[in-house]
Chain A
Amino acid sequence: DAGVTQSPTHLIKTRGQQVTLRCSPKSGHDTVSWYQQALGQGPQFIFQYYEEEERQRGNFPDRFSGHQFPNYSSELNVNALLLGDSALYLCASSGVLEANEKLFFGSGTQLSVL
């Protein structure tokens, strides 16, 4: 039973570029959340997708957008990259059948913006 998978594992971009990160949720999960984790900090909530719609959003600018597909996988898009967007991006999935609806995380995508 595969857990949460994210791709790519590492990515290097330059300022102003656009990036797309991908996530496949754990089998049986229908909800995907994205988090940004700066070096030495705790993760910060970006947004959550359920039934192909953004259900909740954290305090991130519109440059951050996402999508959820019918198979529950998800993409995170970041436009007009800034140096401060360099971080580990974590995807988490959950489902109502999980006890306490706990989140399962992937290993993340390390994004470096030069």
Chain B
Amino acid sequence: AQKITQTQPGMFVQEKEAVTLDCTYDTSDPSYGLFWYKQPSSGEMIFLIYQGSYDQQNATEGRYSLNFQKARKSANLVISASQLGDSAMYFCAMREVHGSGNTGKLIFGQGTTLQVKP
């Protein structure tokens, strides 16, 4: 069964510094997709970044980058130059893939609460 593990319940970072949020995954499928979402107190899940299992390069989206280490089954999120508005819950997720293609089912980790200090 597919599984996502986020081992950091809470993290603190100083404003303008970089922070890494850990994510490990378990799957026997050779094809899968990994996502990071941000959830502020408003509740909405905001898409941050995506990494496909066959992508040769690590994904980047502005201040967000994904450190993808396939052999170790890890997909850590790196946020550079942290801002106060980055304070939120962060979820790593994996898309379940069936033989017929992508499904709409994302499997989420437990999340990491990030607090950015001024």
A residues engaging B (CB < 8 A)?
31, 33, 35, 40-45, 48, 50, 55-56, 58, 88, 90, 92, 94, 99-108, 110
Determine whether the beta carbon of B44 is less than 8 Å from that of A105.
Answer: yes
Are the CB atoms of B43 and A103 closer together than 8 Å?
Answer: no
Per-position 1/0 for B24-60, Cβ under 8 A of A = 0000000001010100001111110010100000000
Q: Which residue of B lies closest to A99 (CB)?
A: B50
Q: Can you show 5 pairs from A to B with CB atoms below 8 A apart? A: A42-B4, A90-B45, A102-B50, A105-B44, A108-B44
Q: Which of B82-118 contact A (CB under 8 A)?
A: 91, 93, 102-111
B111 touches A42 (CB 8 A): yes
Cβ contacts under 8 Å, A55 to chain B: 104
A42, A55, A110, most chain B CB atoms within 10 A: A42
> B105 and A45: CB pair below 8 A?
yes
Return B93 CB to nearest CB of chain A, in Å.
8
Interface size class, chain B: 20 to 34
A100 to chain B, nearest CB (A): 5
Q: Does A92 lie within 8 Å of B45, measured CB to CB? A: yes
Known: A56-B105, A90-B45. 19 other contacts (CB 8 A): A40-B110, A41-B111, A42-B91, A43-B45, A43-B106, A43-B108, A44-B108, A45-B105, A45-B107, A48-B104, A56-B103, A94-B104, A99-B50, A100-B33, A101-B102, A102-B50, A103-B104, A103-B106, A105-B44
